Amino acid sequence: MRYRLLTVACLFLALRAPAWAQDQTQTYTPEFFAAAEPATAMDMIMRLPGFVFDGGDGSRGFSGNSGNVLIDGERPTSKTDNLSSVLSRIVASDVARIEVIHGSAPGIDMQGKPVMANVIRKQTASTIIVVSASEDYFPNTGRFLPGGQLQYSRTDGPRSYDVSIQRNTNFNDDMGAANITRVDANGKAVRTEETRRGTGGNVGLNGDVKLPFAGGDLSANTSVSQNDFQSGTFYDDPGAPQNYTNNSHNLNGELGASYRVGLGTTVLDVELLQRLGRSASTQLLEDNTGDQRFSSIRATGESISRFTLSYPLTASLSLEGGAEAAYNFLNGLSVFTQSSLAVAVPSSHVSVNEQRGEAFSQFSWQIGHGLTLDAGVRAEYSTITEQGDVTRSRSFFYPKPRLQLSWAIDSSSQLRLRAEHHLGQLNFDDFVSSVSLNRNLVTAGNPDLRPDQSWDFEAGYEYHFWSRGAVTLKLTHQLVSNILDDKPLVTPDGIFDVRGNIGSGRADWLSVHTTLPTDGIGLTGGLFSVSADWRDSAVKDPLTGLKRRFAVEDAASYSLDFTQDLPNWKSSWGLHYYNGWKEIGTRLNETDLFLGAPSLNANWTYNPKPDLNLTFSIGNMLVSSRSRASVYYAGPRNSTAMTGREIEIGYSRPHFQISLRKTFN
């Protein structure tokens, strides 16, 4: 499989004739987006030809975990408030231009991203107030869910102030009727009807300020959010009806700051961040024989400090170096009871913390003739300390070199080659036990985890045409060690599933993204986009010893998008199609196949005036299904007999949303 992918990619690259060029930055002014009448910077980002938005992976720390969009040349220090939300609060009329950097550019820390967008805001004095309101409607349940936001923004030269308060809705899009069929070892089937429910909301307050300070630029941000969600399922089994409920409450706060100052030709960047969070959830499963209850409380925190020094040696060679220090912690308590009697699960009361330091250096060299070399190394040292069922402290040291060569073949195409040693991050929740009562899944906490590592080798190609058209190809080969997956854990209380390291493997990934203007076929102002991914991987199963894919990996996926701007009607509309998914999971005594049917969404936006936007959207127009097929065994699936099968099917039914956005200048 991986050799076929490599052959297809190489044949495509061979079709392009080389012609030297050096321009690796494209600039898009507001006029480029005028026909679409975007309301926010995020709307503009989504219209960039060939650009695939990356909001960051949310991992701990700053280095290598940020998204691929800068604001005035800097990354937002906020992590609780995601990049998409930050961009959605920048009004489009405040954007002077967007620069798209391919490969690298002087003074820009790409942090491993092959393409970066830089949103440059205007510095003219302006005051903007934005009021938005939305309503979601679910015909199958008759539910209405309101939301809204109030935002104030003030810009005056290098000074800017932003504050917003919002209430967003959360929901399960498969609410309503579903069913589950259980088949025992003798083939006898029993079907149970389900009624699913789920609703909640998020309330948040965000504030940002940027101003000159001590000869440099100071930025600060703060956010507070509360998220509540209630879900459940009623299983209408005539013999043994069950009712499952799950209530969760999350509270998060963040305070961040960054400072940039020029020290002669050297630029100093300092970033500070403090995050705190608390989450609590309770599951309850009741039937005519009693009840089961699982309660979980998590307290988390992250403290980060980082500095970077950038120095241009020449017009074509720049150096950068710095260091980052971070402290992270999680205190977790889990309680599992059956008919009020406690059930022992390993690592139910755990405190884990990580002290991490990282030093890094890198250089960017514009060799000439459109050829750029970026190289660097990060060295990470960390100590993880755990207290609970097991008390231990472990230290790790990992060098993380990276090399990327970018070649601007001509003014419209670029080839990129990258090699990098990537280090994954441990999920602190894997140290603490968890239970899913509606699936009868018990997962023990694992105190003996190591982060996964991989050597990544990547080839990427990008070609722009017809002003708004683009094709990007990316082929990645990974050699992975310490793969994290489900594995068995033997304890005095029994054998449990845990999240743990299962050995080494490899992964291959071909990604294609194409944007085609449709003006030539009579659909003026239209864009047709295709995004497709093919994946192949191999690792030894920890129980059977046989080769299989990585768990919960979709072998192939694609999406189709069509948007059309209709300036004469002051409108734009679009369709989004996703082919669904197929994923396989393995646990100690079961195997699972998860299937998601194709989905189709539609939207229409009407702009009667530049400061007024009305959007109407329909989700799940195809009434797509989501199913799970599980096979259960009496014990470890490699050595015991099958005891039964289970097929559960739910449906993502149509829902409607209408939203109104009004801007006051």
- pLDDT above 60: residue 482: yes
| Mean predicted confidence (pLDDT) in 208-214 | 94
Cβ(481)–Cβ(452) below 8 Å: yes
User: Which amino acid appears at position 278 of this protein?
Assistant: R
| Contacts (Cβ under 8 Å, ≥6 apart) of 264 | none
Strands 392-410 and 469-481: unpaired
Strands 242-263 and 216-236: antiparallel
| Mean predicted confidence (pLDDT) in 27-37 | 90
pLDDT confidence band for 73 (50 / 70 / 90) = confident
Tens digits of residue pLDDT in 585-619: 999 999 999 999 999 999 999 999 989 999 999 99
- Which residues share a beta bridge with 335? 295
Tokens of 57: 């992976």
More confident of the two residues 75 and 458: 458
Closest CA to 530 of 561, 575, 509, 564: 561
Lowest average pLDDT, out of 116-130, 187-201, 488-502, 509-523, goes to: 488-502
pLDDT confidence band for 390 (50 / 70 / 90) = confident
pLDDT at 20: 29
Burial class (CB in 10 A: 0-12, 13-18, 19+), 10: exposed
pLDDT confidence band for 315 (50 / 70 / 90) = confident
| Mean predicted confidence (pLDDT) in 184-205 | 93
Strand, helix or coil for residue 275:
strand
| Mean predicted confidence (pLDDT) in 254-261 | 95
Closest CA to 406 of 441, 360, 442, 368: 368
Cβ(97)–Cβ(339) below 8 Å: no
- pLDDT above 80: residue 445: yes
- pLDDT above 80: residue 5: no
pLDDT confidence band for 50 (50 / 70 / 90) = confident
| Mean predicted confidence (pLDDT) in 489-511 | 90
Tokens of 420: 């990098």
pLDDT confidence band for 127 (50 / 70 / 90) = very high
Query: Within a 10 A sphere around the Cβ of 290, how many other Cβ atoms?
Result: 11
User: Which amino acid appears at position 464 of this protein?
Assistant: H
CA gap 493, 495 in Å, rounded: 7
Closest CA to 399 of 421, 425, 382, 419: 421
pLDDT confidence band for 107 (50 / 70 / 90) = low
| Mean predicted confidence (pLDDT) in 198-206 | 93
Cβ(664)–Cβ(150) below 8 Å: no
pLDDT confidence band for 59 (50 / 70 / 90) = low
pLDDT at 301: 96
| Mean predicted confidence (pLDDT) in 559-565 | 96
Closest CA to 27 of 109, 112, 119, 90: 119
| Contacts (Cβ under 8 Å, ≥6 apart) of 639 | none
Cβ(147)–Cβ(493) below 8 Å: no
Closest CA to 429 of 311, 545, 277, 533: 277
pLDDT at 15: 37
pLDDT at 106: 62
pLDDT confidence band for 209 (50 / 70 / 90) = very high
Cβ(144)–Cβ(175) below 8 Å: no
pLDDT confidence band for 4 (50 / 70 / 90) = very low
- pLDDT above 70: residue 252: yes
Tokens of 173: 């899009």
Tens digits of residue pLDDT in 652-662: 999 999 999 99
| Contacts (Cβ under 8 Å, ≥6 apart) of 648 | 178, 179, 180, 181, 194, 627, 628, 630
Tokens of 580: 């669904």
Report the alpha-carbon angle 40-42-43, nearest 5: 70
Burial class (CB in 10 A: 0-12, 13-18, 19+), 188: exposed
| Residue 394 CA to its chain's centroid (Å) | 29
**9 membership: H or E segment, kind and range:** helix 2-14
Alpha helices in 486-638 (DSSP H): none
- N residues, the chain: 665
What is the residue whose two structure tokens read 């507070």? 224
pLDDT at 66: 74
Burial class (CB in 10 A: 0-12, 13-18, 19+), 139: exposed
Tokens of 110: 């790409």
- pLDDT above 80: residue 563: yes
pLDDT at 81: 75
More confident of the two residues 334 and 9: 334
- pLDDT above 50: residue 40: yes
Phi, psi of 363 (to 5 degrees): -140, 155
The domains found in the chain, sorted by start residue, are 2-664 (2.40.170.20)
- pLDDT above 90: residue 64: no
pLDDT at 257: 95
In the chain, the percentage of residues whose pLDDT exceeds 70 is: 94
| Contacts (Cβ under 8 Å, ≥6 apart) of 596 | 580, 581, 582, 624, 625, 626
Tokens of 451: 């982060």
Burial class (CB in 10 A: 0-12, 13-18, 19+), 360: buried
pLDDT at 31: 93
- Gyration radius of the chain over CA positions: 26
Tens digits of residue pLDDT in 166-181: 999 888 888 899 999 9
- pLDDT above 80: residue 436: yes
User: Which amino acid appears at position 642 of this protein?
Assistant: M
pLDDT at 58: 62
Strands 599-609 and 571-578: antiparallel
Phi, psi of 53 (to 5 degrees): -65, 135
Q: What is the overall mean pLDDT for the chain? A: 90
CA gap 46, 385 in Å, rounded: 42
| Mean predicted confidence (pLDDT) in 225-237 | 94
Separation of first and last alpha carbons in the chain:
56
pLDDT at 11: 39
Tens digits of residue pLDDT in 269-308: 999 999 999 999 999 999 988 899 999 999 999 999 999 9
pLDDT confidence band for 325 (50 / 70 / 90) = very high
CA gap 567, 107 in Å, rounded: 38
Closest CA to 579 of 622, 516, 616: 622
Closest CA to 50 of 530, 461, 565, 513: 513
